[in-house]
Amino acid sequence: MSAPRSGPPAAEAGPRQVDRFDPATVEPRWIEAWQNAGVGHADPDSDLPPYSIAIPPPNVTGALHMGHALNNTIQDVLVRSHRMAGYETLWICGTDHAGIATQAVVEKALAAEGISRQELGREAFVRRVWEWKEEYGGRIIGQLKRLGCTLDYGRERFTMDEGYVRAVLEVFVSLHEKGYIYRDRYLVNWDPGLRSAISDLEVEDREVTDTLVRIAYPLTDGSGELVVATVRPETMLGDTAVAVGPGDDRYRHLIGRTVTLPLVGREIPVIADEHVDPQFGTGALKVTPAHDPNDFEIARRHDLPRVGVIGEDGRMTADAGERYAGLTPAEAAERVVEDLGAQGLLRGSEPYTHTVPFSHRSGARVEPLVSLQWFCDMTRLAAPAIAAVEEGRVRFTPAKWGDVYLDWMREIRPWCISRQLWWGHQIPVWYRGEESYVGREAPEGEGWERDPDVLDTWFSSALWPFATLGWPERTPELERFYPTRVLSTARDIIFLWVARMVMMGYEFMGQEPFADVAIHSVVQAPDGRRMSKSLGTGIDPMDEIERHGADALRFGLLMMSSTQDVRFSQDRIDQGRQLVTKLWNAVRLVIERGGRARAEPAGAATLADRWIASRVADAIERSGAHLARYELAPLADLTYHAVFDDYCDWYLELLKAGEATPEMAGAALEQLLALAHPLMPFVTEECWSRLPGAGGLLAEHPPPTAPGPRDEAAEAELARVQEEVNALRGWRAQRGISPRRRIVAEDPHPLTGALANVAPAGDASGLESRVLLRTRSMSVGLEGEEVDAGGEIERLRGELATAEGELARAERKLADEGFVERAPAHLVDAEREKAARYAAERETLAARIAALG
RNA sequence: GGGCGCUUAGCUCAGUUGGGAGAGCACCAGCUCGACAAGCUGGGGGUCACUGGUUCGAGCCCAGUAGCGCCCACCA
């Protein structure tokens, strides 16, 4: 009887005003409250067992990106859980100076002012970078706070702060004394864009189509020519040999003779080397030791000279000859081909697609060239780090990443640690004439010049887990919190960073830097591409926080997280937001019904109470198991369903129906808030603060404990209720019967009655003639309704068909001797029970159809 | 060239030892009943990439094929 609402527009009020949860106003309050309470602060003198994590330090250039948001959410979940569980928890906070990246950003800013770093000079430039760091370095820390991360902000470190510089110097000097660090003229990956050497790990291969040119090298004695193939014709100017396969009959007679290098006139030998593939090109390989890694090795084997024709400026050197010096390699290539053509020495060309190294940093094509650099030999450092993973003292999750790590470590090569940059740890080596000095401080005496190069950023990052704790001093923090417990990261820096931390940890602390390495997903753009600013595919986590709140973002990211790459899913963030709202509203209801925190269940617990206690116990148990295995998505999922399904959908409905007590409602809610808190700290903290009887911060609450024991009987009984209620709801929906219309049933469970508006039939036999729904445990009828025989028969026939299908299926299985003999007994029994039940149902249905028809 | 991973509902993804395929979103239908319309209830929707094998039984184990992705690698 709903009269159409009419009247003045004012009366048409929208939905009733509700007290909504607003993350934008609530969340910042708690950041401050946690900070004031010292929630992230770690005390090395505490008696509690330690639990520490070192944050992968974000670059000072940076803003929080989605990968940071996920990684730091994971770490905060771990840290908050352990803090609640009674560990003295330290989450080490800090940022990385990120040599190349930061220098590039500042250079770019200078360029906008029309200044180059060279014009500014080194000292002034470095000052500018420090200013930049002061201005922007704090931004990402602020963003971590906004995400809810409970780092120990009071102990913030920077990879170039005073103490850290001491640690780096100490390590360099020590490794040099041990003979691991040495200086050598060696072929390195030269980045002409950066004008610096870069390490193997900073090189990426890209596919490029070049032209393979065939060039004739005349034999010196004039008896013919040898044709070589190359994609880099300009490098011929630096050739010092031609190599052929040792077993290649075409060229056997030429080995030991010489050819005259065109355009240059140098007489160079024809040599035999295993490296040459007779099948490729002409089977003759021009050898340019100064600009090709293979040729470099060939030259070593054959003791050939090296002629560098490309310089560190990326241009042809004087050794390339007057006609080419100063040109870019591309220009030189063109001119070389032209000149060779003029001399009639070209023997054809073809397009050739191959992979070519590019700088990961500047994007420039890497120019391999021989250069004087500092290297660190890794073989001795690697040994204990390999053993650690083999023996399980450092465990990767998922374990396959341990194999990837080991494969790389076992083939480890020297690490080029010097960079021709200005921003970074300057190499602690001084020169005076032929003398050199390696030390923590400048040597005594006049005329010493410090090595201008700086160390690879990862050299300092490798010390992070112990340098941040005060090493080389034996500080209380170091004693207490090293080794850390877990390193959380994506897989892309396993070699660059993780492996090097393990090596340095063993070398300088004699202990692994962390017990676990938890590798999480890389978050891709929704279309599967990389999230990147330049591609325009980036999604800013701060935008998501602004729109949906940090809790929703955290939950969504955890749901997405996995062991493989995942596409960013807005829907998961929405799911998080819904859980936030649900929790909020649940608390409102519980408060309204007199629920309290820390409530002692007064009277006898009801069935519903026993059931929710058991469900909460189950959720807590499972969450602990997931947490221990770094399974964050299942953890988030079970939290969602514990709150949504068990507590809100079922338990609170029972509470409203008077079948549960406010005491248990409060007690269970308290534990669910504690359970969800590490995932969604803000809304849970806010809810906690509103719950009568609650005091103190949820962040400092003990870990969730079940408000009652596991209760199989209660769970089984409620499963029956759920089955009945679901059947009734489905039936009502199908028949268009309002939930408000009361129906009768033969022997419904009392809770079914309460939830589904069902009353026991006064006269069960009377009901039998108008049974409209049958579940495993009850028959349902509608009072006052005459059964429409036709429609009812049709419906019953449908049910009959289903029952017969199920029966046939069960019988088929039971007829299978293999199944009956070999399957576990409980499965066979279950199948027998099923067969019996459906057989009975078939009879009942057939009888009812007969009665109606 | 070597290695690793992926392929499950329209979309994004779960699926722990092999024992009747799940979630969120989307879609359809019905609901304002005092926690929640940022909601509730119900529903439809899948040849688990393909082929073969092992097994009483395979999304799951094995072999192979195809497509996609990632990592490592010194063939001009």
What separation in angstroms does the CA of A226 have from each of A20, A218, A249, A275, A432? 83, 6, 14, 18, 48
With distances taken from each CA to the C1' atom of nucleotide B5, the closest residue turns out to be A564
C1’ B68 / CA A565, Å: 13
User: Do the Cβ atoms of A715 and A687 come closer than 8 Å?
Assistant: no
A588 touches strand B (CB under 7 A): yes
User: Do the Cβ atoms of A229 and A214 come closer than 8 Å?
Assistant: yes
Strand runs labelled E in A536-688: 566-567
C1’ B47 / CA A819, Å: 24
C1’ B66 / CA A232, Å: 37
Cis omega (within 30 of 0) on the bond before A398? Answer: yes
Q: Report the candidate in A55, A229, A243 with the shortest Cα–Cα distance to residue A149.
A: A55
Instruction: For residue A345, give both structure tokens.
Output: 């020495």
User: By three-state DSSP, how is residue A50 classified?
Assistant: strand
C1’ B61 / CA A522, Å: 29
SS (H, E, C) A673-700: HHHHCCCCHHHHHHHHHHCCCCCCCHHH
C1’ B44 / CA A733, Å: 14
What is the per-residue pLDDT across A79-123, written as a single tens digit (0 to 9) for each?
Answer: 999 999 999 999 999 999 998 889 988 988 998 999 989 999 999
Instruction: Report d(CA A294, CA A17) in Å as an integer.
Output: 75
A657 touches strand B (CB under 7 A): no
Instruction: For residue A514, give both structure tokens.
Output: 């962390």
User: Do the Cβ atoms of A581 and A22 come closer than 8 Å?
Assistant: no
User: Do the Cβ atoms of A615 and A660 come closer than 8 Å?
Assistant: no
A565 touches strand B (CB under 7 A): yes
What is the per-residue pLDDT across A140-165, written as a single tens digit (0 to 9) for each?
Answer: 999 999 999 999 999 999 999 999 99
Beta-carbon count within 10 A of A582 CB: 18
Instruction: Report d(CA A220, CA A805) in Å as an integer.
Output: 91
Judged by C1' against the alpha carbon of A637, the nearest nucleotide is B23
Instruction: Report d(CA A426, CA A126) in Å as an integer.
Output: 11
Tell me which residues from 141 to 200 on chain A have a beta carbon below 7 angstroms from nucleic acid strand B.
200
A315 touches strand B (CB under 7 A): no
A273 touches strand B (CB under 7 A): no
Complex ipTM, two decimals?
Answer: 0.96
Instruction: Report d(CA A253, CA A247) in Å as an integer.
Output: 11
A21 touches strand B (CB under 7 A): yes
C1’ B30 / CA A661, Å: 31
C1’ B11 / CA A647, Å: 29
Q: Report the candidate in A753, A735, A730, A733 with the shortest Cα–Cα distance to residue A743.
A: A753
The pLDDT value given to residue A16 = 58
Cα four-point dihedral sign A465, A470, A473, A476: negative
Instruction: Report d(CA A329, CA A326) in Å as an integer.
Output: 9
Instruction: Report d(CA A474, CA A476) in Å as an integer.
Output: 7
Series of mean pLDDT values for 10-residue runs along chain A (853 residues): 35 58 95 95 95 96 91 97 97 94 90 90 95 90 96 96 96 97 92 88 86 91 90 93 89 90 91 87 90 91 91 90 90 92 90 87 88 93 95 93 93 93 96 94 92 96 97 96 96 94 97 96 90 85 95 96 90 95 96 88 82 95 94 95 96 95 94 97 96 93 93 92 91 85 85 89 63 74 69 80 86 90 90 90 87 77
Q: Which residues contact A414 (CB under 8 A, 6 or more apart)?
A: A375, A376, A377, A378
Tell me which residues from 765 to 804 on chain A have a beta carbon below 7 angstroms from nucleic acid strand B.
none
Tell me which residues from 330 to 359 on chain A have a beta carbon below 7 angstroms from nucleic acid strand B.
354-355
User: By three-state DSSP, how is residue A704 classified?
Assistant: coil
Tell me which residues from 354 to 383 on chain A have a beta carbon below 7 angstroms from nucleic acid strand B.
354-355
C1’ B18 / CA A820, Å: 17
A473 touches strand B (CB under 7 A): no
User: By three-state DSSP, how is residue A295 classified?
Assistant: helix
The pLDDT value given to residue A75 = 97
The full DSSP string for A247-294 is T-TTTGGGTT-EEEPTTT--EEEEEE-TT--TTSTTSEEEE-TTT-HH
C1’ B45 / CA A846, Å: 31
DSSP class of residue A320 equals G
A12 touches strand B (CB under 7 A): no
With distances taken from each CA to the C1' atom of nucleotide B35, the closest residue turns out to be A589
C1’ B58 / CA A749, Å: 39
C1’ B9 / CA A25, Å: 39
C1’ B8 / CA A635, Å: 22
Radius of gyration of chain A (CA): 37
Instruction: Report d(CA A804, CA A799) in Å as an integer.
Output: 9
Q: Which residues contact A89 (CB under 8 A, 6 or more apart)?
A: A42, A50, A51, A52, A79, A82, A83
Burial class from Cβ neighbours inside 10 Å (0-12, 13-18, 19+) for residue A535 reads exposed
Instruction: For residue A515, give both structure tokens.
Output: 């017990």
Bases of chain B within 7 A of a CB of the protein: 3-6, 11-15, 19-20, 23-25, 29-33, 35-43, 55-57, 69, 71-76
Q: Report the candidate in A104, A86, A98 with the shortest Cα–Cα distance to residue A46.
A: A86
With distances taken from each CA to the C1' atom of nucleotide B26, the closest residue turns out to be A571
C1’ B44 / CA A460, Å: 59
User: Do the Cβ atoms of A276 and A326 come closer than 8 Å?
Assistant: no
A575 touches strand B (CB under 7 A): yes
What DSSP element (H or E) covers A349?
Answer: strand A346-359
With distances taken from each CA to the C1' atom of nucleotide B32, the closest residue turns out to be A15
User: Angle at Cα A154 formed by Cα A153 and Cα A157, nearest 5°?
Assistant: 75
DSSP class of residue A486 equals E
Tell me which residues from 277 to 306 on chain A have a beta carbon below 7 angstroms from nucleic acid strand B.
277-278, 280-286, 292-294
Instruction: Report d(CA A479, CA A90) in Å as an integer.
Output: 13
Instruction: For residue A440, give both structure tokens.
Output: 């923590």
**Which strand ranges, in their side-by-side order, compose the sheet holding A346-359?**
A225-230, A203-218, A346-359
Judged by C1' against the alpha carbon of A549, the nearest nucleotide is B38
Instruction: For residue A388, give both structure tokens.
Output: 């650690």
A822 touches strand B (CB under 7 A): yes
C1’ B62 / CA A407, Å: 26
Burial class from Cβ neighbours inside 10 Å (0-12, 13-18, 19+) for residue A246 reads middle
Is beta strand A50-54 parallel, antiparallel or unpaired with respect to A88-92?
Answer: parallel
